[in-house]
């Protein structure tokens, strides 16, 4: 084996969403209206779920309870930021928030902290989280796998989506630890600078393509996280084989995110930042620790008003992808859709 062969995991070039287009097919679907964008899943733990398999990211000004209350009207999910208090959860649930579509999110927290947090919500409201998200930048560290198996032992009925990893080995690691869904994505987020700071990354389309079979063989669903910058990317991600898609930046700048508005030249903007950025560290911790650097940036985006407008546009695009590819629903997109490299 030459040194070059030894240094590369494969000879293929890996692809981002922007490296491909979907190919149109003869279609008997005459209207976007007849396309169904909801799906039904039965997870490894036997729990069934029905809804639109899109999840708002657990980022500041995106994964808010107000966002979840709006997105549930579209059966779209929200991974609610771990910085939201159980008391805020309780008051929103009492006002109609549906935990079927709102998922509490945690990081590498203490397992007792997580179970206390969840029990406090269910004891106070009678509503129990059915899906939780465990989100760490590097899902390969062994303390993360231990946290997952501890939580599975303590709360076997709760569906766990956890990540992030980007390789089949990473999917297997988390599946063996006990998750029901694996979140995929390192280096592809819109405010992510991990690939710049560390050189680590994996183009998102190839991450999905390379991990889909391993996920299926291990009976876990895949949640593609990061890199969706336009509605056409949704169809591409589903064709590649993801079950769910997490979106962040595309949902920034909406009323429900609650970011303060800034007016410049008569235009209103809202702030949006990566959760490993300096802004996030200053907001939630005491700034950046000396031994690390920020792996995220902040951006100002034009105020986009209520999120329903953006969702209608995203789902319209997804329905149209289905029409071009002669698919009645997302499952057919995944089984029949094909790409060209561009």
Q: Which residues are at the interface with ligand 5GP (CB under 6 A)?
A: 57, 59, 137, 164, 185, 189-192, 194, 225-228, 246-250, 274-277, 295-296
> In the bound complex, what is the minimum distance in angstroms from residue 228's beta carbon to ligand 5GP?
5
- Nearer CB in complex with ligand 5GP: 70/323: 70
Q: CB count, 10 Å around CB of 268?
A: 14
> In the bound complex, what is the minimum distance in angstroms from residue 70's beta carbon to ligand 5GP?
18
Strands of 298-302's sheet, edge to edge?
Answer: 261-264, 267-273, 298-302
> Can you give the C-alpha Rg of the chain in angstroms?
20
- Nearer CB in complex with ligand 5GP: 147/155: 147
> In the bound complex, what is the minimum distance in angstroms from residue 190's beta carbon to ligand 5GP?
3
Give the phi and the psi of residue 5 in degrees, each rounded to 5: -60, -40
SS3 per residue for the chain: CCHHHHHCCCCCCCCCHHHEEECCCCCCCCCHHHCECCEEEECCCCCEEEEEEEEECCCCCCCCHHHHHHHHHHCEEEEECCCCCHHHHHHHHHCCCCCCCEEEEECCCCHHHHHHHHHHHHHHHCCCCCEEEEECCCCCCHHHHHHHHHHHHHCCCCEEEEEEECCHHHHHHHHHHCCCEEEECCCCCCCECHHHHHCCCCCHHHHHHHHHHHHHHCCCEEEEECCCCCHHHHHHHHHHCCCEEEECHHHCCEHHHCCCEEEECCEEEEEEECCCCHHHHHHHCCCCCCCCCCCECEEEEECCECHHHHHHHHHHHHHHHHHHCCCCEHHHHHHHCCEEEC
- Nearer CB in complex with ligand 5GP: 180/225: 225
Query: Is 287:281 a contact under the CB 8 Å cutoff?
Result: yes
> In the bound complex, what is the minimum distance in angstroms from residue 216's beta carbon to ligand 5GP?
23
> In the bound complex, what is the minimum distance in angstroms from residue 226's beta carbon to ligand 5GP?
4
> In the bound complex, what is the minimum distance in angstroms from residue 192's beta carbon to ligand 5GP?
3
d(CA 334, CA 53) in angstroms, rounded, equals 13
From the list 77, 192, 211, 327, the catalytic residue is 192
- Nearer CB in complex with ligand 5GP: 86/201: 201
Active site residue 192: yes
- Nearer CB in complex with ligand 5GP: 155/251: 251
- Nearer CB in complex with ligand 5GP: 193/320: 193
> In the bound complex, what is the minimum distance in angstroms from residue 96's beta carbon to ligand 5GP?
26
- Nearer CB in complex with ligand 5GP: 247/259: 247
d(CA 119, CA 188) in angstroms, rounded, equals 34
Residue nearest to ligand 5GP (CB): 296
Please give the positions annotated as active site: 192
């Amino acid at each position: 084996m030459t040194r070059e062969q030894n240094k590369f995991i494969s000879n293929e070039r890996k692809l981002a969403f922007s490296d491909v287009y979907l190919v149109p097919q003869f279609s008997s679907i005459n209207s976007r209206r007849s396309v169904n964008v909801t799906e039904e899943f039965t997870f490894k733990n036997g729990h069934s779920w029905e809804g639109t398999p899109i999840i708002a990211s657990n980022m500041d000004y995106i994964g808010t309870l107000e966002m979840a209350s709006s997105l549930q009207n579209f059966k779209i999910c929200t991974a609610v930021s771990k910085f939201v208090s159980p008391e805020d959860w309780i008051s929103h649930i009492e006002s109609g928030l549906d935990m079927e579509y709102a998922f509490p999110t945690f990081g590498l927290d203490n397992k007792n902290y997580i179970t206390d947090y969840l029990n406090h919500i269910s004891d106070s409201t009678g509503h129990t989280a059915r899906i939780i998200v465990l989100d760490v930048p590097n899902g390969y560290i062994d303390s993360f796998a231990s946290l997952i198996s501890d939580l599975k032992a303590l709360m076997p009925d709760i569906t766990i989506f956890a990540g992030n990893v980007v390789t089949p080995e990473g999917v297997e690691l988390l599946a063996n630890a006990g998750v029901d869904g694996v979140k995929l994505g390192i280096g592809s987020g819109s405010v992510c600078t991990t690939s710049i700071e560390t050189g680590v990354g994996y183009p998102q389309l190839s991450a999905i393509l390379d991990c889909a079979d391993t996920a299926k063989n291990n009976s876990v669903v895949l949640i593609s996280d990061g890199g969706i910058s336009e509605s056409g990317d949704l169809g591409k991600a589903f064709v590649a084989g993801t079950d769910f898609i997490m979106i962040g930046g595309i949902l920034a700048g909406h009323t429900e995110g609650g970011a303060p508005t800034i007016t410049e030249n008569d235009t209103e903007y809202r702030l949006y930042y990566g959760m490993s950025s300096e802004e996030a560290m200053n907001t939630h911790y005491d700034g950046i620790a000396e031994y690390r650097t920020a792996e995220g940036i902040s951006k100002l985006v034009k105020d986009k008003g209520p999120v329903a407008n953006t969702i209608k546009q995203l789902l319209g695009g997804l329905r149209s992808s289905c029409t071009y590819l002669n698919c009645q629903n997302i499952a057919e997109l995944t089984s029949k859709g094909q790409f060209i490299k561009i």
